Amino acid sequence: MTTLGCFLQALEKTTNEKIDLKDVGYETVELYRDELDTNLIPADKMENLPDEFLVSSANFIDEKGDE
Residue 38 and residue 46 in contact, taking contact as beta carbons nearer than 8 Å: yes
Over the Cα atoms of the chain, what is R_g? 15
pLDDT at 30: 94
| CA angle at 59 for the pair 40 and 9, rounded to the nearest 5° | 85
Model confidence pLDDT, tens digit, residues 49-59: 899 989 888 88
Model confidence pLDDT, tens digit, residues 17-50: 888 888 888 899 999 988 888 888 888 888 888 9
pLDDT at 63: 78
Residue 57 and residue 26 in contact, taking contact as beta carbons nearer than 8 Å: yes
pLDDT at 1: 72
pLDDT at 28: 94
Q: Helices marked H in the chain — which ranges?
A: 3-15, 43-46
What type of residue sits at position 16?
N
